[in-house]
Amino acid sequence: MKVIIVGGGIMGLSIALELRKADDLEVMVLEKSIPGAEASSAAAGMLAPQFEATGPGPMFDLTLLSRMAWPKFAATLEERSGVAVDYLPCGGLQVAFTDDEVHALDAKISWQKAQGLRAELLSGDELFAREPKLNPKALAAADLPDDHQVNPRQLLRALAIAATKAGVGFKSGTVRALVETGGTVTGVDVDGEVLGADVVVLAAGAWSGLVSGAEVDPGRVKPVRGQMVELQLRAPIFTRLLKSAGGYLVPRADGRVVAGSTMEMVGFDKNVTAEGLQKVLAASIQLVPELAGAAVTSTWAGLRPWTDDQLPFLGEGPKPGLLLATGHFRNGILLAPITARLIGQLVRHEKVSVDLKPFRYRRNSP
Ligand SMILES: Cc1cc2nc3c(=O)[nH]c(=O)nc-3n(C[C@H](O)[C@H](O)[C@H](O)COP(=O)(O)OP(=O)(O)OC[C@H]3O[C@@H](n4cnc5c(N)ncnc54)[C@H](O)[C@@H]3O)c2cc1C
């Protein structure tokens, strides 16, 4: 059986690798730029369902399942590629600077604890004992010790190497359209060349609504720009992920700090702007005032694949022969292991281990 994957971001590469775990499938990834060039390498690399969640539900459950899969996913990838992906079990603090934010954290901790998760409200001495460099104006924080991080650029390198070693084929080019026979997708048109496939997986991130013939409504998948800043300290001065209402900080082990991020619907514009940088830096300095003296070593922006209800599209697409693995918005790095597993099960016609109804493309129809 031949599988074509449109898009070589974290989704496309993770799925390709999963599909090549046995020799039964021929797998080809089609990428218009270079693998990992877009949102996936722009990400901060937080593996943080508890940080990110706004409430319980199928999306939260999916992110927790994926977080559980991460240690093995990272270890296997390192073994297969020889590249360290810097999976770091660092934990996180979600910090409140106002009374309203403290109440919101309290509520979040309650529903997360009710699900059996570790979460605790810290204030005063307890808080500053954990992270002494935190702004003394912080009133409290949710301690979320099971949210972690990985280095997305290393990760994407590792995935590309592991996929190549596993026998995944790569082709550069833009998929202009899907090709169909009698209403079933049977291949793709890549820069005018037709390639046949038994299954096509659309993993084109923010561009997923632009592939002609896929019938993915461009109004349901849109790019949301995120601007990022990398700061360099001589040595790390805090070790946990830190998040506030204004932004977040991801401390790498070597003293770099990745600071993010804006959420802007500005089409496919990937510029870094003065206003964007100002927002990210202000939030960073509010969290850890000492960062005011840190060197700015890099800035960039990426396009998150947003969906209209902020749930990904996973599984059967609008047409037979087409599977979707897109719309992971703010959590695509976190969701890679579970997405790859589920798409692998669908391609192989195995029992699917998660109820995909909330994530299917036509979720509003019976
Ligand atoms: C600033 C920022 C910070 C983030 N931080 C985090 C984080 O901390 N944790 C987390 O879990 N997630 C985070 N995310 C989200 C995460 O990066 C995305 O959800 C994830 O990368 C999406 O992966 P993808 O493979 O679907 O998309 P992409 O990485 O964008 O890959 C899609 C690929 O498809 C290719 N493509 C598109 N159209 C075509 C075509 N027609 N033909 C051929 N190729 C095509 C593109 O060139 C691209 O390489 C962040 C995102 C951003 C932008």
Residue located nearest, by CA, to atom 35 of ligand 1? 7
Residues 75 and 165 in one domain: yes
Interval 4-42: pLDDT, tens: 999 999 999 999 999 999 888 999 999 999 999 999 999
Interval 314-341: pLDDT, tens: 999 999 999 999 999 999 999 999 999 9
- pTM comes to 0.98
Q: How far is CA 339 from CA 19, 141, 234, in A?
A: 12, 31, 37
Residues 231 and 301 in one domain: yes
Residues 326 and 315 in one domain: yes
Q: What are phi and psi of 205, to 5 degrees?
A: 55, -135
Question: Which mutation among 153, 178, 328 tests ligand 1's pocket best, with the greatest number of atoms within 8 A of CB?
Answer: 328
Residue located nearest, by CA, to atom 45 of ligand 1? 7
Domain that holds residue 342: 2-81+152-219+308-359
Residues 62 and 191 in one domain: yes
Interval 145-188: pLDDT, tens: 999 999 999 999 999 999 999 999 999 999 999 999 999 999 99
Residue 247 in contact with ligand 1 by CB distance below 6 A: no
Residues 75 and 118 in one domain: no
Q: What integer is the mean pLDDT of 246-264?
A: 97
What distance in angstroms lies between residue 123's CA and the mean position of ligand 1's atoms? 36
Residues 208 and 329 in one domain: yes
- Position 281 in a domain: yes
- Ligand 1 atom closest to Cα of 203? 26
pLDDT computed for residue 93 by the predictor: 98
Residues 160 and 70 in one domain: yes
Residue 226 in contact with ligand 1 by CB distance below 6 A: yes
Residues 229 and 215 in one domain: no
Residue 223 in contact with ligand 1 by CB distance below 6 A: no
Residues 105 and 210 in one domain: no
Residue 305 in contact with ligand 1 by CB distance below 6 A: yes
Residue 161's closest CA among 82, 92, 84, 96? 82
- Position 56 in a domain: yes
- Position 123 in a domain: yes
Residues 267 and 203 in one domain: no
- Ligand 1 atom closest to Cα of 173? 43
The total of structural domains in the chain comes to 3
Residues 103 and 184 in one domain: no
CATH number at residue 298: 3.30.9.10
Q: What integer is the mean pLDDT of 243-266?
A: 97
pLDDT computed for residue 366 by the predictor: 66
